[in-house]
Amino acid sequence: MIVEPKVRGFICTTAHPAGCRENVRQQIAYVKSQPGTQGPSRVLVLGSSTGYGLSSRIAAAFGCGAATLGVMYEKPSVKNRTASAGWYNTAAFEQFAQEAGLYAKTINGDAFSREIKEQVIETIRRDWGTVDCVIYSLAAPRRTAPDGVTYNSVLKTTGSDYTNKTIDLKTRTVFQVTIGPATQQEIDDTVRVMGGEDWMDWMKALSDAGVLAQKVITCAYSYLGPQLTHPVYLNGSIGMAKRHLHRTAQEITQAFPQVSAYISVNKALVTQSSAAIPIVPLYISILYRVMKEKNLHEGCIQQMYRLFHDRLFAEPVPVDGEGRIRLDDWEMREDVQVEVAGIWETISTQTVQDAADIDGYWEDFYQMFGFSVPGVDYSAQVDPVVPVPSIEE
């Protein structure tokens, strides 16, 4: 079939298998063009199919030569529907890994569940014995916790309303939006979904099963961002969850003597998760313009290569005053933020086309689903059914 993008709100409901494969190939090529990394050898990536998790897996495998076990929640193709982008990414990743002689297996299911934790432990025990690196890169709107209750996360402020500019990316109009405060219940529920509880559950389960190596590094991802996004991010409901995640890193390091747990604060990028946050897409579009002009722009793979090559396995691991790894160093550079803030002040529907990189935003958006990828022939027929080598359907 010929696959075309079908955009609905913040997502695209189709994905292009050849485009996703080409994306993965390009990320691998980037990592292979850089100096190799003395890093981990057996890496578990939770949330391995898109965004930062996929790039972490590629940096670990092709930068460090590591065996990788991924966990994702993706859909294979059914009837005439395409699979999800994460499915195609993973199919391509495993094929490239196999060709390179690298171990790569993936488990598709709910990472929050006990069942998937057991499957992962079983696989580690059988294939590896132990794991020496655990990347926690889940981004999910809801979580069914071990108590059987399903909690939903919200993207709201805490305390009071916040009004600022936002963009309708489709019509390219800039307008004021007011984001209302979350109730205490909504904040608590968001913490249950995006906080550190499940990360701790994973580390406990791996420790109890005796599959942690003598020295283990684990890392989860967070975001801080500039003042203008603080009410909706850092001090919003998601920020409360991230604070919990930060505390969990300290708790994990204290609870398991062989484990060092880190938070890496990453750059704001277009991913399936960040597109849903109000105000942030306008900020990202301005940031892209400023960072591209200054030759500082990075995508997920450049960020994750830096994480593996320069940070997570350096001795000592370079961290800020609060113990966090900072990959948002270039985003938060003073000259970048001063320029972004200046543009933010005056941006309007009339100026947005020049003042922000909306085309760059859309390019990244489409590319996440395998569209608009240079070098792909979109007029060619493709088979939507693509197997992930390690997954039996």
| CB of 67 or CB of 245, closer to ligand NAI | 245
Which residues have C-beta within 8 Å of that of residue 240, sequence separation ≥ 6?
158, 187, 190, 191, 195
Q: Is residue 4 within 8 Å of 382, Cβ to Cβ?
A: no
Angle 114-127/197-208 helices, nearest 10 degrees? 40
- Rounded distance, CA 364 to CA 378, Å? 17
- Rounded distance, CA 12 to CA 271, Å? 12
| CB of 58 or CB of 138, closer to ligand NAI | 138
- Rounded distance, CA 45 to CA 38, Å? 18
| CB of 169 or CB of 381, closer to ligand NAI | 169
| Residue 113 Cβ vs ligand NAI, minimum distance, rounded to whole Å | 8
- Taking Cα atoms as reference points, which of 145, 141, 165, 166 lies closest to residue 154? 141
The catalytic residue among 30, 136, 233, 288 is 233
- Rounded distance, CA 237 to CA 157, Å? 6
| Residue 380 Cβ vs ligand NAI, minimum distance, rounded to whole Å | 27
| Residue 223 Cβ vs ligand NAI, minimum distance, rounded to whole Å | 4
Cα distances (Å, whole numbers) of residue 176 to 163, 164, 349 = 7, 5, 11
| Residue 139 Cβ vs ligand NAI, minimum distance, rounded to whole Å | 4
| Residue 345 Cβ vs ligand NAI, minimum distance, rounded to whole Å | 23
Residue type, 224: L
| CB of 2 or CB of 54, closer to ligand NAI | 54
Q: Is residue 2 within 8 Å of 367, Cβ to Cβ?
A: no
- Taking Cα atoms as reference points, which of 40, 36, 38 lies closest to residue 259? 40
| CB of 122 or CB of 354, closer to ligand NAI | 122
Q: Strand, coil or helix: what is 326?
A: strand
Q: Is residue 42 within 8 Å of 130, Cβ to Cβ?
A: yes
| Residue 381 Cβ vs ligand NAI, minimum distance, rounded to whole Å | 27
| CB of 71 or CB of 131, closer to ligand NAI | 71
| CB of 53 or CB of 63, closer to ligand NAI | 53
What tokens appear for 240 in the block? 């409360």
| Residue 257 Cβ vs ligand NAI, minimum distance, rounded to whole Å | 26
**Residue given tokens 């982008």 in the structure block:** 85
Residue type, 31: V
DSSP bridge pairs for 131: 212
List of residues contacting ligand NAI (CB under 6 A): 47-53, 71-74, 86, 110-112, 137-140, 221-223, 266, 268-269, 271-274
Question: Would residue 52 show up in a list of annotated catalytic residues for this protein?
Answer: no
What tokens appear for 160 in the block? 């009071």
For residue 385, how many other CB atoms are within 10 A of its CB?
A: 13
Which residues have C-beta within 8 Å of that of residue 325, sequence separation ≥ 6?
219, 262, 263, 264, 265, 307, 311, 312, 317, 318, 319
- Active-site residue numbers? 233
